[in-house]
């Protein structure tokens, strides 16, 4: 009888410790999750919220630069990204973690940028998204766009959206 009670107490203790570990793990992972409430979680919660806020503030202001290649014509351009979700998505594409929706689309602007010095145009960083397929109306090669830049957004590339097919994100670079 005594032994049984002892075992039950031990099991309870292990259970409490185990659940406690999971709960604190989840706190560090889930941003904005506040549906887990434990007896002494109030302190933790405040701390986690603080960390989350700091992380968000620093990451949204950090730009990332990627080398993108026209695999048919062997041309390379540099794209700058400022949207944190798209930056993480681009990193996943390069790491091979995603294979769907890997077609880059963005609005082009005329002008040479220091981070993309070899071309007379660049993709507006905040406009970059990833879609499933290149569409004919936004698909021209890097060279074609360079040659016909004055007609872009009018004769071709409606609303300046560019989604070059045969394109691969090669790697992240520092600038």
Ligand X SMILES: *[C@@H]1O[C@H](CO)[C@@H](O)[C@H](O)[C@H]1NC(C)=O
Binding site for ligand X (CB under 6 A): 134, 136, 139, 141, 165-166
- Cβ–Cβ < 8 Å for 37, 19: no
Q: Which CB atom, from 135 or from 171, has the smaller least distance to ligand X? A: 135
Q: Which CB atom, from 38 or from 165, has the smaller least distance to ligand X? A: 165
CA 23 to chain centre: 27
Instruction: Kindly give, in sequence order, each residue whose CB lies less than 8 Å from that of residue 73, ignoring residues fewer than 6 positions away.
Output: 141, 142, 143, 166
CB of 163 to ligand X, least distance (A): 8
Q: Which CB atom, from 87 or from 123, has the smaller least distance to ligand X? A: 123
Residue closest to ligand X, measured at CB: 165
Angle between helices 41-60 and 2-29 (to 10 degrees): 20
Q: Which CB atom, from 38 or from 134, has the smaller least distance to ligand X? A: 134
Q: Which CB atom, from 115 or from 144, has the smaller least distance to ligand X? A: 144
The Cα 150–Cα 9 span in angstroms is 78
CB of 61 to ligand X, least distance (A): 35
Cα–Cα distance list, 71 to 23, 101, 138, 151 (Å): 47, 18, 17, 24
CB of 122 to ligand X, least distance (A): 20
Task: For residue 113, give the DSSP letter.
Answer: B
CB of 136 to ligand X, least distance (A): 5
CB of 165 to ligand X, least distance (A): 3
């Amino acid at each position: 009888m005594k032994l049984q009670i002892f075992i039950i107490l031990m099991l309870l203790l292990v259970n409490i410790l185990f659940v406690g570990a999971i709960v604190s793990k989840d706190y560090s992972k889930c941003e904005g999750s506040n549906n887990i409430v434990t007896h002494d979680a109030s302190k933790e919660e405040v701390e986690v919220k603080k960390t989350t806020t700091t992380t968000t503030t620093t990451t949204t202001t950090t730009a990332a630069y990627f080398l993108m290649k026209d695999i048919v014509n062997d041309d390379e351009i540099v794209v700058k990204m400022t949207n944190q979700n798209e930056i993480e998505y681009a990193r996943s594409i390069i790491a091979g973690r995603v294979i769907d929706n890997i077609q880059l689309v963005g609005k082009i602007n005329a002008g040479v940028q220091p981070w993309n010095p070899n071309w007379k145009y660049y993709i507006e960083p905040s406009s970059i998204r990833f879609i499933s397929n290149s569409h004919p109306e936004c698909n021209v090669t890097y060279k074609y766009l360079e040659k016909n830049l004055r007609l872009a957004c009018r004769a071709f590339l409606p609303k300046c959206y560019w989604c070059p097919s045969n394109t691969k994100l090669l790697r992240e670079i520092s600038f």
